[in-house]
Amino acid sequence: MSTVTVLLLLVGGGVAGFIDSIAGGAALVTIPVLSIVLGAGVQAVATSKVVGVAAALMALGVFYLHGHMDWKRGFAFGLWVGIGSLAGSTLAPYLPVAYFRWMLILLCPFLLAVIWQKDRWAKVAQREHQPSLTPLQVVLDPKCIFAGIACGFYDGFFGPAGGTFMFLALVFVVRMKLLPSMAVAKLVNSVAGITALINYSLKHLVHWEEGFVMTVAVLVGAFVGARCASKGATKIVRPVLACVVALLLCHLLLSP
C-alpha cells in the first residue's frame, strides 16, 4: 500500500469510528473510503466486513459487561439473520461492479436519513411496547423470519446501516426493550458480519491488509468518540456525518 492509501484508510477509519460511537453509521464512511481505495465493487463491501465485525464485537463486549444481553432471543433472531447474510454475500459477487457504485450514490442519502431518525423511532416503539416474543416464537414467527432474513441479506449483500435495521427489527418485530435491543443488535450484527466475512474470504474477495489498517483506526476513533460523547454531541456529529458522506459520494460520482 502507498502512503496516501494508508493515510486515507487511517483518517477515514478514525472519522468513521468517532462518528459511529456517538451517532452510528460507520459503514456510510468506511464503504465509500474502501471504494475509493479498492474500487466501488464487491471487494470494498467484503473488506468492510473486517471493520464491521471488529467494531460489532467490541460493542458486544461492552453491552455484555453491562448485563444487557438477551442471549436466547439474540441467537434465535441471529439464526435468520445468519441465513440471510449467507444468501446476500453469496449473491453479491455476481452483481456487476458498476452497480455497487450507484448503490452507494443512490442509497446512502436514504440510509443517512434512517440513522438520523433512529432514536425517534425507538422512543415511539417504547411508548407502544408489548411483551417480547419468546425465543421459540422468534424462531417460528413469520414476521421474525422475514425481518431476520431481510436484514441479514441486506447486511451481507451491501451493509451500510445494517445494524440500525436489525435494531429496529428487534424493537418493532421482536418487541424487545431499548437497551436489550441495542445489545442484541450487536450480537446479530456480529453473526451477519462473520457469516459474510467467511463467505467472502472463501471467494478471495477480502483485502485483509487494508481491512486491518482501517479496523485499527475505527477502534481508536470509537474509543475517542466514546470518551467525548455527550447529549449535545449527536447534534454536531450527525451533520458532520452528512457532510462526510456527501463529500465521499461526490468523489465517487465525479471520478472516472
Q: pLDDT tens, 137-165?
A: 889 999 999 999 999 999 999 888 888 88
Count other Cβ atoms within 10 Å, centred on residue 126: 12
- Please check the confidence at residue 56 and state whether its pLDDT lies above 90: no
Q: Hey, what's the torsion of the CAs at 15, 20, 23, 28, to 10 degrees? A: 80
Q: Hey, what's the torsion of the CAs at 209, 226, 148, 45, to 10 degrees? A: -20
114: its cell numbers: 434512517
139: its cell numbers: 424462531
How high is the pLDDT of residue 239? 77
d(CA 173, CA 133): 9
Mean pLDDT value across the chain: 84
Per residue in 113-142, pLDDT tens? Answer: 777 776 676 666 665 556 788 889 889 999
How high is the pLDDT of residue 88? 95
Residues 248 and 160: beta-carbon distance below 8 Å: no
When pLDDT is averaged across residues 63-85 and rounded to a whole number, the result is: 88
256 confidence band (pLDDT: 50, 70, 90): low
126: its cell numbers: 417504547
How high is the pLDDT of residue 151? 94
229 confidence band (pLDDT: 50, 70, 90): low
d(CA 247, CA 256): 16
Per residue in 194-205, pLDDT tens? Answer: 999 999 999 999
